[in-house]
Amino acid sequence: MKIDPRIALLVGISAVSTASILVRLSISPPLVIAGYRMLFSSMIMGLLGMNEISDLRRIDRKETLLLLISGVSIGAHFGAWTASLFYTSIAASTVIVDSSPIFVVLISWIFLREGVNTREAFGIAISIMGAIIIAIGHAEFKSNLYGDFLALLGAIFLAIYLVIGRILRRKMGLASYTFSVYGVAAVVLLLSALVSGNSLTADLKELIIFILLALGPSCLGHNSYNYALKYMKASVVSASILGEPVGASLLGAALLGEVPSISTIIGGGIVILGVYLTVFGKNE
């Protein structure tokens, strides 16, 4: 049964927008939250893609190494972004982390020798201006700046994951790929949590939050985007992902009473504009 891709995008944005709220509701350390999220996500995708597991036998050593790097990268993304929510606002964190398309362009330019056109360059410059405005607004709060920095790291690691995914997805199905990288991410994050002295025990409420993070934002949200990609232009799908900061900010204000600051609203809007220009610049 074919689902209207526009409905799929709306579902995806709504599901991903709940991630920030769920993280805020948890009392577990960031590495534990991110680790269990990846663990349950890997288990779900493994069940959904059992018929695709054979894809893993078709990749060579170089691609296996890339798969491991991709898993570490998505683990670092979720670890850094989850931690950022403990130090900065939901609005600032989601705006910054969703600037990853900017870094996809830069990484592709540096490592894949893909050119950067005028519109992309202009979009990158605009986004940097927006990030500076957010940082200036947070200058007197060192913890907020630290959270902004963690969100920025999350954006960079997500970009690495996306660039590698473009290479590996030529040989691997979506379910087998996400099962593998999420599994690597879970191991890295949970081991890091243990090394950091965090306990991996969690009560029923925490486990429910972890499962909801896996089911909603990770599996339903991101797979809705991938479904829409079959019927819509990649640029349109990528641009629609910018709805997450808006959705997350509205939920944060409604459920947690967290109203974004003026600098975050202005800077965030400029960042979103810059990312939008960069994404559509790929069509030139």
| Phi and psi torsions of 262, nearest 5° | -60, -45
The whole-model pTM stands at 0.89
**Total number of domains in the chain:** 1
User: Do 99 and 127 touch, CB atoms closer than 8 A?
Assistant: yes
3-state secondary structure of 273: helix
**Which residue range(s) make up the domain with 50?**
5-281
Token digits of residue 70: 């991709």
What DSSP string runs through 243-258? HHHHHHHHHHHHHH--
Specify the pLDDT at position 112.
74
Nearest one of 219, 149, 172, 144 to 59, comparing CA atoms = 172
Closest by CA position to 158, among listed 255, 246, 274, 275:
275
Cα(61)–Cα(181) distance, integer angstroms: 16
User: What whole-number distance in Å separates Cα of residue 148 and Cα of residue 150?
Assistant: 5
Note down pLDDT in tens along the chain; length 284 residues. 678 888 888 888 899 999 999 999 999 999 999 999 999 999 999 998 888 777 777 888 999 999 999 999 999 999 999 999 999 999 999 999 988 888 888 888 887 777 778 888 888 888 888 888 888 887 666 678 899 999 999 999 998 998 888 788 778 888 888 899 999 999 999 999 999 999 999 999 999 999 999 999 999 988 888 777 667 765 566 667 778 888 898 899 889 998 888 988 998 899 888 888 877 765 54
Q: What is the pLDDT of residues 197-213, one digit of tens each?
A: 999 999 999 999 999 99
